[in-house]
Structure 1
Amino acid sequence: MKPPKTKRSMRTISIDDTLVTELKKYQTWQKRNKLKYGANYIEQEYMITQANGKALSEFRINDIMKTITNKAKLHHISPHGLRHTHAIMLLESGADIKFVSDRLGHTNIKMTADVYLHITKKYESENITKLDRYLSN
């Protein structure tokens, strides 16, 4: 695995209870594998690993995601694509841009705005509606 691009890449983010539950199930699976592989289990600092504990390469992660999306008959999306989707969904749901910027590890809000705000038509539409309401009062 490659080291993070910047110091801000290493950060703690909030996650919802559903993801916490799924991660706990995954940890249980890892513990079973650790017992199964014994001394051959490779201890890692990564959450997502192969059954024997070995870290997944970025290429292997993409292969796994391609398999999953093919089985589900969905378009393939890369891990980085999921990051973009997450950011857009946050913004479209009304999340504050400062929150999104911090969550993504951007150095400033301008970077987040430049990359994401022009993408979301819903955001544009909602803001035009806000302006219309303001002008109507």
Structure 2
Amino acid sequence: MAIFDELNLPREKSIVETWTPEEIKRFLDTSKLKRPSRHYIAYEISIKTGLRMGEVLGLEWKSINWEKRYITIRQTLCRIDDKGNYGLEPEVKTVNSYRNVNIPESLCESLRKHKRLVERDKIEAGVKYNDLDLVVCTKMGDWLPPCNWRRGFHSIRKQLRLPKIKPHALRHTHATYLISIGVSPKIVQERLGHSDIKQRLGTYSHALPSMQLEAADKMDLLLKS
């Protein structure tokens, strides 16, 4: 009964725009980019992990476990006052937000390549480099402003002629794809750092019809065996 309860998701008033698996592959094919961005790694992290923008921009190198292939969410880039200023905060959004998220080997490779770029920046900047241990940062080591995150994303999206979606939709795309290939909603919940599985996964209910048809076909296979 618990499994069926997980899939009995409420309807959401808003429609979440996401990319298809084919569009995800196009976005991840950097060979087609005329002007590769040094911050491309930020979007790759988001689409392959489902992390929030603030979690990606606050990610530190020390939070990556290369051997066991997971990252730990320890801090976030967020608004620190009512004037709209941003800063790094050691606290995460909720208790569920503090979590370990396993990452694919392809992302490990991309992170290693990006780390070499950051190390070169450190050498070139010398004592002027502000070493915050950030994975996604400027050439001088400072945190990346969210407006730059959004502008960079849309620049890449336009180059690849992909459907217009908000940068935050990369997180939704990650969740929708996992659900569509049959990953347990509970696992998706843990990766995203959500506390209420029914309420939050209702956002991705549009991915369920194909799973319903797959379930029906599997029933036929079982009965014919």
Alignment TM-score, normalising by the size of structure 1: 0.86
The residue aligned with 1:119 is 206
The residue aligned with 2:177 is 89
| C-alpha contact 1:42 1:53 (8 A) present in aligned 2 | yes
Decide whether aligned partners of structure 1 residues 130 and 109 sit closer, same or farther in structure 2, where only a CA change above 3 A counts: farther
Task: Measure how far apart 1:50 and its partner are.
Answer: 1.2
In 1, distance between residues paired with 2:101 and 2:178? 14
In 1, distance between residues paired with 2:194 and 2:100? 14
The residue aligned with 1:38 is 126
Task: Give the aligned residue type for 1:28.
Answer: R
Task: Measure how far apart 1:134 and its partner are.
Answer: 6.6
More helix by share: 1
Task: Measure how far apart 1:12 and its partner are.
Answer: 1.5
**1:1-137 equivalence runs, <5 A:** 1-2=77-78, 3=89, 4-116=92-204, 118-120=205-207, 121-130=209-218
Q: Secondary structure at the match of 1:114?
A: helix
In 2, distance between residues paired with 1:136 and 1:113? 33
More strand by share: 2
Query: Identity of counterpart residues, as a percentage?
Result: 29
Q: Secondary structure at the match of 2:102?
A: coil
What is the number of residues matched between the two proteins? Answer: 136
* 1:60-105 Cα deviation digits (max 9, x unpaired): 1011111111111112333320000000100111111111111111
Runs of 5+ unmatched residues, structure 1? none
Runs of 5+ unmatched residues, structure 2? 1-76, 79-88
* 1:11-42 Cα deviation digits (max 9, x unpaired): 22011111100000001100000111111111
Q: Secondary structure at the match of 1:48?
A: coil
Task: Give the aligned residue type for 1:55.
Answer: W
| C-alpha contact 1:48 1:56 (8 A) present in aligned 2 | yes
In 1, distance between residues paired with 2:97 and 2:167? 15
In 2, distance between residues paired with 1:6 and 1:45? 23
| C-alpha contact 1:65 1:76 (8 A) present in aligned 2 | no
| C-alpha contact 1:37 1:52 (8 A) present in aligned 2 | yes
Task: Measure how far apart 1:133 and its partner are.
Answer: 5.7
Q: Secondary structure at the match of 2:194?
A: coil
Task: Give the aligned residue type for 2:193.
Answer: G
Alignment TM-score, normalising by the size of structure 2: 0.54
**Of 48-57 and 120-129, the range deviating more from structure 2:** 120-129
Task: Measure how far apart 1:7 and its partner are.
Answer: 2.6
Task: Measure how far apart 1:110 and its partner are.
Answer: 1.6
